Structure 1
Amino acid sequence: MRAITVIPNQQNTLELTDVPDPEPTGDELLVQGLALGVCGTDKEIVRGEYGWSPPQRERLVIGHESLGRVRTAGPGAGFSAGDLVVGVVRRPDPVPCGACAHDEFDMCRNGKYTERGIKELDGYASELWCVEAGYAVKIDPALERVGVLMEPTSVVAKAWEQIRRVGERAWFEPRRALITGAGPIGLLAALLGIQQGLDVHVLDRVTEGPKLDLVRKLGATYHHEDAATVAAHVHPDVVVEATGAGTVVFDVLANTAAYGIVCLTGVSSVGRPIRLDAAAINRELVLENDAVIGSVNANLRHYRQAADALASADETWLDSLITRRVPLTRYADAFESGPEDVKVVIELNGAGS
């Protein structure tokens, strides 16, 4: 079968490689790959900036945003041939740490976790793949065109869960949410905010193109001014920060409502120092009981929350979030950013568009 592979931490090694067909063992499902989402982490791996090969192997099958159809499933697995499934990305560490021992492997404390397509485990960028039944999540058959959005939706489902948990340390009834960044994570965070009945505002730099339409069709308000101006105007109870831009982070920290919560989901680039008044930010956080949290990855609970969120969403809106689909034969095109791109998907068994 064919798989998209790289040699981690080496540039210019992306290839469509012939690899042996997988053979399920134990409770594993054999899955026909349908689609693969491409995100910033994948592009970092392709650029040689990140990633780990499986032990004793040079090449890594990449891809962690999966969608497939079960070919075979063992008795008692809870799955049947034909089921649409998504594979969970992270696996708990073998020690395990306290978090992993309690099935909160997205919060691993010792860093010995593994991740499909990222860290020491082959990913889902192949025509066939296997996944343990306990790390597969069934998805509504009606979502076949958009089910590949499950993994990024699980990331924002976790972020919203963490926001609620922090907020509920006391009375918590947020009304306004600001999402910074209108990429897939930002837009899906906005979707979940709308589903919670919040007044959602989305900030991004672009002034035309699909992002504006996606925000408006969602029923949210789009902004493109600087972050400090927008945050001061919106005065949000909750911020989901999805850009990783240092100036944006500190601008929103200084402009939340009292008892505001800022959840950071964007990973910042290193080597870009900025000047800031740390004392003023500290004073703001303390005197207003503000909270700042980081959130990444997801566990099984969040995948199930994501499945519910996608099933409740407008499928046409979700489909329009995927702005480009490419066939497996043109896999390299998916890792090149286009001006109209929001989410790019590789069709593992189709023609693309």
Structure 2
Amino acid sequence: MRALTVTPGTPGSLQVAELPDPEPRAGELLVEGLAVGVCGTDREIVRAEYGWAPPGHDRLVLGHESLGRVRTAPEGSGFSTGDLVVGVVRRPDPVPCGACARGEFDNCRNGRYTERGIKEIDGYAAELWCVEADYAVTLDPRLEHVGVLMEPTTVVAKAWEQVWRVGERAWYEPERALVTGAGPIGLLAAMIGVQRGLDVHVLDLVTDGPKPRLVEQLGATYHHRGVDEVAGELQPDVVVEATGVGRLVFSAMRNTASFGVVCLTGVSPAGRKIQVDAAGVNREMVLENDVVVGSVNANLRHYRQAAEALARADLDWLGGLITRRVPLESFADAFEARPDDVKVAITLDGGR
């Protein structure tokens, strides 16, 4: 079989390699790969900034945003040949910590978790892959052409779950949400916000291309003015921050309604300094009972929430998020950013 592999820590090592077909172990599904999504984490691994190969190996099979079709499944697993599935990214640490022992491995306390296509386990960018039945989730068959959006949707499903858990520490009935950033995470966060019945606003820099149109088609409102101006006018009850830009983070924190919840999903680059009125931020957060929470990764509960959210979504709208599909043999094109890119997917089945 063919697989997209990289030597972590070695720039320029991305290549398609011929590997032996995998043999499923007890309790595993054998899956035909359909597609993988490309995200910032994948690009960091390719740039040798991140990533770990499996123990005893030099190369890592890339790909954590999976989509595949079951070829074989163990009897009694709940899966059948032909099922559309995705594989969960993270695995609990072997100790395990208290969170991992209770299925909350997205909140691993000791950092000894592993991740498919990222940290010490081969990923899903292969024509065939195996996955434990306990770490696979089925998708509605109608999602065959957009199901590669499942993993990023799990990230925002968790973010919204965390927002609600924080908000429900007291009476909670939010009305307005601001999403900063109109990439895949931001747009999918906006989608779930709309599904929850909120008045959703999305802020991004661009004035043309697919992003404003996608926001409008969602029934949300698109903004491209400064964050202080937009957030100051809106006074959102919820902010989902999906850029990781430090200035936006602190502007969002200072411009929520009372009892506001800010959920940070974007990862900021280290080493960049900004001037912040820390005392002012502290004063507003304390006096208004505001909360800022970080959210990353997802557990099985979030995968199921994401599958439900995608099944309720408009298929044409979801299809508009995937702005390019690149065949495996042209993998390099998938890592070259283009101005109108939202989500780029690599097809593993010849584009069928």
TM-score (norm 2): 0.99
Corresponding residue of 2:115: 115
Task: Name the structure 2 match of 1:142.
Answer: 142
Q: Give the 5 Å matches for 1:288-303.
A: 288-303=288-303
Q: After TM superposition, list the pairs within 5 Å mapping 1:273-284 onto structure 2.
A: 273-284=273-284
Quote the residue 2:198 is aligned against.
198
The correspondence of residues 35-46 of structure 1 with structure 2, limited to 5 A, is 35-46=35-46
- Structure 1 residue 9: deviation in Å? 1.6
User: Separation in 2 of the partners of 1:165 and 1:252?
Assistant: 20
**Deviation readout 1:20-72 (Å, 9 max, x if unpaired):** 11100010000000010000000000000000110000000010000000000
Give the equivalent residue in structure 1 for 2:322: 322
Supply the AA of the counterpart residue of 1:40.
G
User: How many residues of Structure 1 are paired with residues of Structure 2 in the alignment?
Assistant: 352
Structure 1: gaps of 5 or more residues: none
After TM superposition, where is structure 1 displaced by more than 2 Å over at least 4 residues in a row? none
Q: Report the alpha carbon displacement of residue 351 of structure 1 after superposing the two structures with TM.
A: 3.5
1:305, 1:183 → 2: CA distance?
Answer: 20
Match of 1:15 in 2: 15
Q: Identity rate of aligned residues, in percent?
A: 71
In the TM superposition, residue 190 of structure 1 has moved relative to its aligned partner by 0.1
Give the match for residue 242 of structure 2: 242
The Cα of 1:350 is off from its aligned counterpart by: 2.3
Q: How far does residue 272 in structure 1 lie from its aligned partner after superposition?
A: 1.0
Which ranges of structure 2 fall in alignment gaps of 5 or more residues? none
- Paired position in structure 1 for 2:128: 128
Q: What does 1:159-174 align with in structure 2 at a 5 Å threshold? A: 159-174=159-174
Aligned partner of 2:312 in structure 1 is: 312
Q: Give the C-alpha shift of residue 270 in structure 1.
A: 1.1
Give CA deviations for 1:274-309 in whole Å, capped at 9, x if unaligned: 011111111111010000000000000000000000
2:271 maps to amino acid: G
RMSD of aligned residue pairs (Cα, Å): 0.7
For residues 77 and 242 of structure 2, the distance between their equivalents in structure 1, rounded to whole angstroms, comes to 36
Report the Cα distance in structure 1 between the residues aligned to 2:152 and 2:121, rounded to whole angstroms: 19
Say yes or no: does 1:230 pair with 2:226: no
1:253-268 alignment runs, 5 A limit: 253-268=253-268
In 1, Cα distance between equivalents of 2:9 and 2:205: 31
Q: CA deviation at 1:336?
A: 0.9
Task: Write the distance in 2 (CA, Å) between the matches of 1:270 and 1:101.
Answer: 31
Over residues 82-108 of structure 1, what are the superposed CA-to-partner deviations in whole Å (9 max), with x where a residue is unaligned?
000000000000000000000000000
Give the letter for the 2:208 counterpart: E
2:68 counterpart SS class? strand
Partner Cα separation in structure 1 for residue 20 and residue 333 of structure 2: 25
Cross-structure match for 2:93: 93
Match of 1:84 in 2: 84
Q: Which residue of 2 aligns with 1:59?
A: 59
> How far apart, CA to CA, are the structure 2 residues paired with 1:273 and 1:304?
38
